[in-house]
Amino acid sequence: MIRNPVCSRELKVSSRSFRLPLSILLFNGILSLVTLLNMYSVVEQVKKTAVIQYSSFMDMYRFVTTIEFILLLFIVPAVTAASISGERERQTLDLMLTTQMTAVQVVIGKLMSALGTMLLLIVSSFPAVAMVFVYGGITWGDVFSLLLCYLAAAFFAGSLGICCSAVFKRSTMSTVITYGIMIAVVAGTYFMNKFCLALSSTRISNTAAVFGTEAGLKASSGGMFYLLLLNPAATFLAIISRQAEGSKAVAELGGYFGMNVSGFVMDNWVIISIMLQAALACVMIAAAVWCVEPVKGRARQYKNRNKRGESSDTAEAGGDIKALRKN
């Protein structure tokens, strides 16, 4: 692995600060509290009914992992949305780019440090998630797929934050825009499908009123449904429903929106969605590099001007010395 100086610096600074252990404490404290409350409710139910319902433990697993997923979607943009813009506000970005580092190293280093912190949070929370192993039903393959989903969501949200941080000069603006886009991707794609389904239902009702029949007509959201492939929440729902319930939640959602529940996309929803989200994240990283690159160009111009100024001063000084020697 190539050593990235920006990533090394960010990780050293964050590991020595009080914020990282506090974040781990709060993150795992919330998950542990939720787990213990769920365990307490299950035990109380067993005391009253004298019957152990193993489905309750799967409900606990689904609830805890959902809380962890929501926390990740809220924490990652907060970490990355001020990474580049914060350097601009401190007036250290130009100074950083006058070194041998490229804009790619700066952007990738910032993103890697944020993902490293998120990976630490995810791994540290596994004891709370692994409580369900006591009662069975979840395998290590399920845990690995859940970890992959978390990393893909963190990579997508982190790339979005880096891109907005590079585009907007103020950290406040970049943070607000990042959360706005994230909410639009997670909730907006769902409600857009609801809107298209309502339009389709209205169109079918109007057609039936004119021709007196609805034969062969079925309301659906159409191609808008495939926008959910870019939704990390839909990917998480597909994984967690298969693990906890053995059902295909995305196929059921597709049936609700009037789509065909079978086919290549539906059968490989998780893999396709993760690949598309990773590709979109790479595009956002490239956009961030492109936005930082002009700053690198200005830094190079400033450096070249200084060199030309030094060389001209040296030439003038040499000319003065020669003139003095002639005199």
> How confident is the model over 166-179, as a mean pLDDT?
89
* Residue 180 pLDDT: 93
CB 76 within 8 A of CB 114: yes
Joined together, the tokens standing for residue 68 give 């962890």
- Which DSSP string corresponds to 107-165? HHHHHHHHHHHHHHHHHHTHHHHGGGGGT----HHHHHHHHHHHHHHHHHHHHHHHHHH
Report the C-alpha gap between 128 and 261 in whole angstroms: 34
Residue 185: which region, alpha, beta or left (left: phi > 0; alpha: psi -120 to 50)? Answer: alpha
pLDDT digits (tens, 9 = 90+) for 189-213: 888 888 888 888 788 777 766 666 6
Q: In the chain, what are the domain boundaries?
A: 5-326
Percent of the chain whose pLDDT exceeds 70: 78
pLDDT digits (tens, 9 = 90+) for 107-145: 888 888 888 888 888 888 877 777 766 666 677 778 888
> How confident is the model over 138-164, as a mean pLDDT?
87
* Residue 247 pLDDT: 59
Q: CB neighbours (10 Å) of residue 48?
A: 8
* Residue 184 pLDDT: 92
Which residues does 154 contact at the CB level (< 8 Å), separation at least 6?
A: 72, 76, 115, 118, 119, 122
Query: Which is more confidently placed, 41 or 192?
Result: 192
Query: Which is more confidently placed, 17 or 248?
Result: 17
* Residue 294 pLDDT: 63
Is residue 325 over pLDDT 50?
A: no
* Residue 249 pLDDT: 67
